[in-house]
Amino acid sequence: MPNNDRVSERYYGQINSEDSHEATRSRIHWICAQASGSRVLDVGCSQGIASILLAREGFSVTGIDLDAASLRFARAELARESKPVRDQIAFQLASILDFEAGEHRFDTVILGEILEHFAHPGRLIARASGLLARGGKLIVTVPYGYHPYHDHKQTFYAGSLSRLLYPKFRECALEVRHKYLCYAGVKRGRPASPPAPGADRLRRWMELDEAEFLRIEQEQQRRMNQRKAALDRAAARLKQFEERGE
């Protein structure tokens, strides 16, 4: 079953809510701001929005995805761009696990909402590291915490994502944006064994988690207040009907 995330349509506000539109824009812009070097591999590129935005800024981008319909959409969007932008992008139907890069290596690899779909995400991390040039950058976004979806096989919090990526990458950015963990790290010269997290790292993870837990609780309280207000209005109308004998 295809994931059909329709990220480009959400980015432009053509589907879903205003909140979803703003969250998608924020996440895509963060990804693009983290890209470095000149050659980018966008894994799970979907409808191609991040690839196209990066190509507009002069990056040479290869976008790969397993969903043919999403790639058709991406190519149709790319056809509307200027020739200099079109020349900067190649979209391919491929998986990162069997993608053939030849002798070339990338300066940046993007894994946008990919890791949560794999029971063995370490295989993707190792493959991404192998496709990166020396000192290259990995950019990862995943849902923060529990997101009920039929194909999600992993749940990530600040500490669990950092520990997964530590052996291959040196963390340079980690934050939460609109219910998504956003990570950027630089490829290590040699793999490292995850150390016991020190006080500073534990404090940082706790601060990220506590801030997001607070936001979630506040959002739940806001929704509960809205539901209560709606129920109170419905009860008041029902009482009016009963008093009128209707």
Question: CATH number of the domain that 143 lies in?
Answer: 3.40.50.150
Q: Is residue 44 part of a domain?
A: yes
Examine the fold and report which residue of 174, 195, 216 is the final residue of a domain before the chain moves on. 195
Q: What is the pLDDT, as a whole number, of residue 22?
A: 93
C-alpha torsion angle, residues 90, 96, 97, 102 (rounded to 10): 40
Q: Is residue 2 part of a domain?
A: no
171 plus 215 within the same structural domain:
no
Distance CA 134, CA 189 (A): 7
Examine the fold and report which residue of 172, 195, 218 is the final residue of a domain before the chain moves on. 195
Q: Is residue 1 part of a domain?
A: no
209 plus 113 within the same structural domain:
no
101 plus 220 within the same structural domain:
no
**Spans of the chain, pLDDT less than 70:** 1-4, 246
108 plus 213 within the same structural domain:
no
190 plus 215 within the same structural domain:
no
Q: Is residue 89 part of a domain?
A: yes
231 plus 187 within the same structural domain:
no
52 plus 11 within the same structural domain:
yes
Q: What is the pLDDT, as a whole number, of residue 246?
A: 60
Q: Is residue 52 part of a domain?
A: yes
Crossing angle between the packed helical segments 68-79 and 49-56, to the nearest 10 degrees: 30
Q: Is residue 212 part of a domain?
A: yes
117 plus 201 within the same structural domain:
no
Distance CA 88, CA 54 (A): 9
Q: What is the pLDDT, as a whole number, of residue 3?
A: 58
Q: What is the pLDDT, as a whole number, of residue 1?
A: 45
44 plus 128 within the same structural domain:
yes
Q: What is the pLDDT, as a whole number, of residue 70?
A: 96
213 plus 176 within the same structural domain:
no
134 plus 88 within the same structural domain:
yes
Domain that holds residue 214: 197-246
Q: Is residue 29 part of a domain?
A: yes
232 plus 179 within the same structural domain:
no
Query: Based on the structure, what is the number of domains in the chain?
Result: 2
Examine the fold and report which residue of 195, 210, 232 is the final residue of a domain before the chain moves on. 195
Q: Where are the alpha helices (DSSP H) in the chain?
A: 7-11, 18-34, 49-56, 68-79, 83-86, 121-131, 158-165, 199-244
Q: Is residue 121 part of a domain?
A: yes
